[in-house]
Amino acid sequence: MKRLLLPILVLSATLPAGAAVNFRTQVWPILAKSCVDCHRAPHKDSAGKIVEPKGRLRLDGASLIMKGGSEGDAVVSGDPDKSSVYQRILLPPDHEDVMPPKDKGKLLTFDESELLKQWIIEGANFGDWKGAEDASASATAKKAPTKAADPMSSGAGPAPAAALEAVRKLGARVSTVVTDSPLVRVEWVSGASAVTDKEVAALIPIGGNITELDLSDTKITDEALATIAKFPRLVWLNLNNTAVTDAGVAHLKSLTNLSYLNLHSTNVSDTALTSLTPLRKLRQVYLWKTRVTDGAATKFAKSIPDLRVTME
């Protein structure tokens, strides 16, 4: 019994009686040390490759933490059992979803995990800490999204369970992008180098449900883009470090809802931009390490309102 009480006594020594957990001084140092390296703004690694936040989850700002990621809520005010950030730090060290992964740092100590838990129980209060800003989210407890907040799901039924299972057996991770929505994100978090046009073709039965698709570092060709062009609700597409060309990008002109496209380290040129110009909802396009010229990129960025084109 003494061994069970000891960690609790140690924790109590870090919190004055009746004091609430202070995010800035107690919780943020834990996240900064163990989590933020994988969950921050898109950035370039030492090889110049753009690294997206894992699971589309950012933990470097208050509004971003409460916004959550591709797998739903990261923190649910008052409920650690529904807060994935807390639940993942409790997983076994060899579990594929444990935070932080064993190759990224040490697991949180008992005291650290209890501080995080207590902070959530107390209402996930950030105090005066804001961190990185995100205009589309607020640092308040998340409420269940309504259909008005998820217009892309209109007319979409649930993806067939058998089809989802078949895709998962191919090594893909399939996750909902919004709670209680039929829309999904598909990505290969490991084994991407074995993914070919064949695996992309296997996504057709759930194509109407896919809104985010990450095919970075895969072995796909232009043939896969002809398949992807049939996914009407696709808004986010990562083709970083693949063999796609201008001919493949030409297929994407049918994706009228596309807002994010990563063509970093592909063999596309100025010709590809001509195919993309009709996509009026595009807001972010990455073109670093392609054959696209600066002049064409500048002209392309001006052709669509609010479009940001990144060349480096």
Bridge partners, residue 291, by sequence? 269
User: Do 184 and 176 form a contact (C-beta atoms < 8 A)?
Assistant: yes
Q: Which residue has the tokens 């994010």?
A: 260
Q: How far apart are the first and last CA of the chain?
A: 58
Q: Look at residue 14 and tell me if it is in a domain.
A: no
Instruction: Read off the pLDDT band of 19 (50, 70, 90).
Output: low
**Average pLDDT in the 195-219 region?**
95
Last residue of a domain, one of 122, 143, 164: 143
* Total domains, the chain: 2
Q: Look at residue 11 and tell me if it is in a domain.
A: no
- The shares of helix, strand and coil residues in the chain, as percent rounded to the nearest 5, are 40, 10, 50
> Is there a single domain that holds both residue 49 and residue 67?
yes
Q: Please compute Rg for the chain using Cα positions.
A: 21
Last residue of a domain, one of 91, 117, 143: 143
286 backbone dihedrals φ, ψ, rounded to 5°: -100, 125
User: Do 200 and 224 form a contact (C-beta atoms < 8 A)?
Assistant: yes
Instruction: Read off the pLDDT band of 134 (50, 70, 90).
Output: low
Question: Which CATH number belongs to the domain containing residue 240 in this structure?
Answer: 3.80.10.10
User: Do 13 and 116 form a contact (C-beta atoms < 8 A)?
Assistant: no
SS3 149: helix
Instruction: Read off the pLDDT band of 56 (50, 70, 90).
Output: confident
> Is there a single domain that holds both residue 179 and residue 224?
yes
> Is there a single domain that holds both residue 299 and residue 156?
yes
> Is there a single domain that holds both residue 63 and residue 114?
yes
Instruction: Give the CA distances from residue 271 to residues 43, 197, 244, in Å, rounded to whole numbers and listed in that order.
Output: 27, 23, 13
